[in-house]
Amino acid sequence: MAAKKKYYAVAKGHKRGVYDQWYGKNGAEAQTNGYSGALFKKFSRKEDAISWLKANCFDTNVSISGDCISGKKMTLPGFSKQKQSGNGKRKKSRKLGAPQSSGVNKVLFEPEDEDKVIIYTDGGCIGNPGPGGFGVVLKFRGCRKEISGGYRKTTNNRMELLACIEGLKALKKPCSVVIYSDSKYVVDAVEKGWARRWQSRGWMRTKTEPAENVDLWEKLLELCNKHQVEFKWVKGHAGNAENERCDQLANLSALKLNNPPDIAYETKKTRAMTVSEFLLFITNLGVIG
């Protein structure tokens, strides 16, 4: 009995496409070996390989065994990713960017609940503070939307928060939502109740230490009241295609010229006043002597 034909889709590699062999200079292996963050998957049907490649490639045109396809990215629930070590590995020099490597192939997504809106977010800065950006990917029943934006000077945490805010703002009615973020600051503050506690204390973390980014936390918690939201942490730069896409969007946005100011940050209106700051403020106003 003849062996069944196999097809190999390479979404990230030296040359992207669908290959009908693994080994050899014209095989898929040659396209993935030595490529940092290679992304590929094996299929028994060519049509499935092409569909997967469409879903996992950001380029609008990709060579498919002599054919040409185009279309926006529509990510499927799971894929395999190989990450290579070697000369392609870069040191992480800032919050945005640098992929890491582990040399492991693995399935990275669990099947998504079709009744929930899935939102992937990322944000960061070139320097902290510095030019910053955020990226968002929303998915629901086969529909997909990307959102991004940037500011001339801001912080990593503010962009992480703003990504979540902009994702929730895009929803037109109350929804059940899962937000995937690689920010422990955001995920833990919501899921562990820290942000609600800061809010109940007049946005004070402790008796003497104010919470930061109050302007954004207020907006995010208000949106969480409107929707049923669950926050889940996902490791950054670890092969999650949508997280990496958000990182790309954030990078591109941060690098844009003429980004607007983050007014609250630049005018230092991102936290509550401490008691001593408030007393100094009203003294300067002449309320007390």
Task: Please name which of 114, 119, 187, 199 lies closest in space to residue 157, comparing C-alpha atoms.
Answer: 187
122 included as an active-site residue: yes
Tokens of 123: 């944000």
Marked catalytic residue, from 13, 17, 122, 239: 122
Marked catalytic residue, from 237, 239, 244, 262: 237
Marked catalytic residue, from 166, 242, 244, 247: 247
Secondary structure of residue 118 in the 3-state scheme: strand
Marked catalytic residue, from 17, 123, 132, 236: 123
**What is the rounded distance in angstroms from the CA atom of residue 1 to the CA atom of residue 266?**
71
277 included as an active-site residue: no
Cβ pair 32, 68 in contact under 8 A: no
Tokens of 129: 């503070």
Looking only at the bridges linking them, the beta strands covering 17-19 and 67-69 are unpaired
Length of the chain measured in residues: 289
97 included as an active-site residue: no
Torsional sign, CA 247, 249, 254, 259: negative
Task: Please name which of 65, 99, 63 lies closest in space to residue 82, comparing C-alpha atoms.
Answer: 99
Task: Please name which of 205, 258, 196 lies closest in space to residue 231, comparing C-alpha atoms.
Answer: 196
Tokens 């109940």 sit on residue = 200
Within 10 angstroms of residue 2's Cβ, the number of other Cβ atoms is 4
Amino acid at the residue 104: V
Marked catalytic residue, from 37, 130, 133, 160: 160
**What is the rounded distance in angstroms from the CA atom of residue 116 to the CA atom of residue 105?**
28
Task: Please name which of 61, 2, 1, 49 lies closest in space to residue 22, comparing C-alpha atoms.
Answer: 49
Which residues carry out catalysis?
122-123, 160, 182, 237, 247
